[in-house]
């Protein structure tokens, strides 16, 4: 029961933080795409709507992409619950699911994921948001737990 509470708290918290930051970014420029909010030397805050996935891949799927991603999130959540991974990974899975739902929600509301952090030092261009960072942290966290802190076998 404790793991479910942690999972829900982290997932809901991540979703709320993500959506509040995105609302701020959209309102800061009145929803005008590619408008700069703050200009920096390596990082700018500017509004983008990513209609694809990473680096705008799969944008050709148009409105079907949001349904495909929603189905993927539901499938991942089903697998996590079925295999009882919440017992060990409640916090990182909460980050992952909360952030994924934040990005899927954007697709339904804004017809694309709201991205606002534009990093342009060292390579051409990368634009991302809080949810993307939360997903990356969740994946790294799970990988570290799997490879550096393996679960002890119960067969000993």
User: Which residues are marked as active site?
Assistant: 115, 132
Which stretches of 29-129 are DSSP H helices? 64-82, 86-110
Residue 86: how many CB atoms within 10 A of its CB? 19
Residues 6+ away with beta carbon under 8 Å from 52: 58, 59, 60, 61, 65
Distance separating alpha carbons of residues 53 and 36, to the nearest angstrom: 22
Residue with tokens 């996590």: 80
58: left (phi over 0), alpha (psi -120 to 50) or beta: left
């Amino acid at each position: 029961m404790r793991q479910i509470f942690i999972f829900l708290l982290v997932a809901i918290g991540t979703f709320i933080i993500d959506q509040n930051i995105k609302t701020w970014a959209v309102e800061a420029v009145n929803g005008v795409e590619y408008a700069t909010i703050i200009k920096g030397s390596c990082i700018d805050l500017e509004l983008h709507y990513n209609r694809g996935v990473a680096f705008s891949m799969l944008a050709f799927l148009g409105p079907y992409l949001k349904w495909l991603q929603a189905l993927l999130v539901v499938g991942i959540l089903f697998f996590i619950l079925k295999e009882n991974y919440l017992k060990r990974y409640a916090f990182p899975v909460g980050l992952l699911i909360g952030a994924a739902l934040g990005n899927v929600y954007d697709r339904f509301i804004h017809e694309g994921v709201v991205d606002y952090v534009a990093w342009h030092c060292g390579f051409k261009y990368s634009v991302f948001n809080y949810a993307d960072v939360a997903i990356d942290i969740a994946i790294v966290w799970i990988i570290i737990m799997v490879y550096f802190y393996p679960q002890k076998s119960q067969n000993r």
